[in-house]
Amino acid sequence: MKVIIVLLFSVFSTTVFSQDNFKLYYEENENGFAILADNDEYSPVSAKIDFRLENLNSTNGNNKVFVIPANSKKHVITELTVIDRKKRIKLGYESTYNHGNHNLKKYDTDFKYYLPFPKGKEYWLSQGYNGTVSHKDENALDFKMPVGTKIYAARGGIVVDIEESFSKSCTTAECAKYNNFILIYHSDGTFAEYTHIKKNGAEVKIGDQIKIGQFIGYSGDVGWATGPHLHFIVFFQRLKERVTLKTKFLTGSGKKPIALIEKEKYIREY
């Protein structure tokens, strides 16, 4: 006798952060259901799923963070197996997802970052790590530079997101939503964001493979800014926050990487 599985109740709730090309869904199979994901992003995506199940058992756990590889289709997150086919079943879940590997703890602490501006140029580091103006408890760097200064990749990677549509600027946090940026994913699982670029200032596109020292766009004075500058951060992406990281840069002739100090000028001769 063939038993038909009937889905009597389902609830699906999702909180999305920065990626548009990611989808969670389910398909029915002979044992119950498969929870699947399509990730068309150029970085992994982490998804926290809290299942609401009745008469179903998850083969890969519940209320945990799953990491879905970049550019993957029909990635199986878990199988939901029917416990008793004579009883009703209930399937629902709440999910939150965002770029990156939420569980990542280690990164390349020895990587030698390039200064993100043209060879032969010198710029002032107006605010450093944990700066008093807007970098409290944040490992971020502000390079003071005129609007339209060429920006170069401090490290190679793949472009995963770009915002370049805004032109509004103000000196308070309410303008952070107008920040233009280029977001690059690195091979060690970290990200770098180049922020406050000028409107239509990106010279790369999502999916581009970027080499260290490559020209990627133009600096600006857009979003939450007290004047023209480039805001640069390297970070782990968690589901709901960023963990910003300290890095070292090649300065001068590029012989030895150093930690940059606020209110100092740095030249790139390499």
pLDDT of 19: 57
The answer to which of 87-101, 206-220, 245-259 has the lowest mean pLDDT is 87-101
How far apart are the C-alpha atoms of 59 and 79, rounded to whole Å?
Answer: 5
Confidence band of 12 (pLDDT split at 50, 70, 90): low
List 81's β-bridge partners, or say none.
Answer: 32, 57
How far apart are the C-alpha atoms of 229 and 61, rounded to whole Å?
Answer: 46
Confidence band of 138 (pLDDT split at 50, 70, 90): confident
How far apart are the C-alpha atoms of 229 and 219, rounded to whole Å?
Answer: 7
More confident residue, 7 or 169: 169
The C-alpha angle with vertex 145 and arms to 144 and 149, in degrees rounded to 5, equals: 150
Q: What is the mean pLDDT of residues 107-125?
A: 97
Q: Which of 55, 59, 66 is nearest to 103 (CA)?
A: 66
pLDDT of 183: 98
Confidence band of 135 (pLDDT split at 50, 70, 90): confident
Confidence band of 5 (pLDDT split at 50, 70, 90): very low
Query: Which two three-digit tokens encode residue 257?
Result: 């990487």
Q: What is the mean pLDDT of residues 244-253?
A: 97
Edge-to-edge strand ranges of the sheet holding 72-82:
22-29, 32-39, 72-82, 56-58
How far apart are the C-alpha atoms of 229 and 128, rounded to whole Å?
Answer: 13
Task: Encode pLDDT of 15-70 as tens digits.
Answer: 555 557 999 999 999 999 999 999 999 999 999 999 999 999 999 989 899 999 99
Confidence band of 77 (pLDDT split at 50, 70, 90): very high
How far apart are the C-alpha atoms of 3 and 88, rounded to whole Å?
Answer: 12
More confident residue, 15 or 74: 74
Q: Which residue has the tokens 């970027």?
A: 210
pLDDT of 63: 87
Confidence band of 9 (pLDDT split at 50, 70, 90): very low
Q: Does residue 170 carry a pLDDT above 80?
A: yes
pLDDT of 17: 58
Q: Could you tell me if 37 and 24 are in contact, meaning their C-beta atoms sit under 8 angstroms apart?
A: yes
Cβ-defined contacts of 80-86 (< 8 Å, 24+): 80/26, 80/32, 80/33, 80/34, 80/35, 80/51, 80/53, 80/56, 81/31, 81/32, 81/56, 81/57, 82/5, 82/31, 82/32, 82/55, 82/56, 83/55, 83/56, 83/57, 84/55, 85/3, 85/5, 86/3
pTM comes to 0.90
How far apart are the C-alpha atoms of 184 and 109, rounded to whole Å?
Answer: 17
Q: Which residue has the tokens 């609401």?
A: 52
Strands 22-29 and 32-39: antiparallel
How far apart are the C-alpha atoms of 35 and 80, rounded to whole Å?
Answer: 8
> What is the DSSP-derived secondary structure letter of residue 230?
E
Task: Encode pLDDT of 254-268 as tens digits.
Answer: 999 999 999 999 999
Q: What is the mean pLDDT of residues 83-99?
A: 91
How far apart are the C-alpha atoms of 154 and 194, rounded to whole Å?
Answer: 10
The answer to which of 50-54, 101-105, 132-136, 195-199 has the lowest mean pLDDT is 132-136
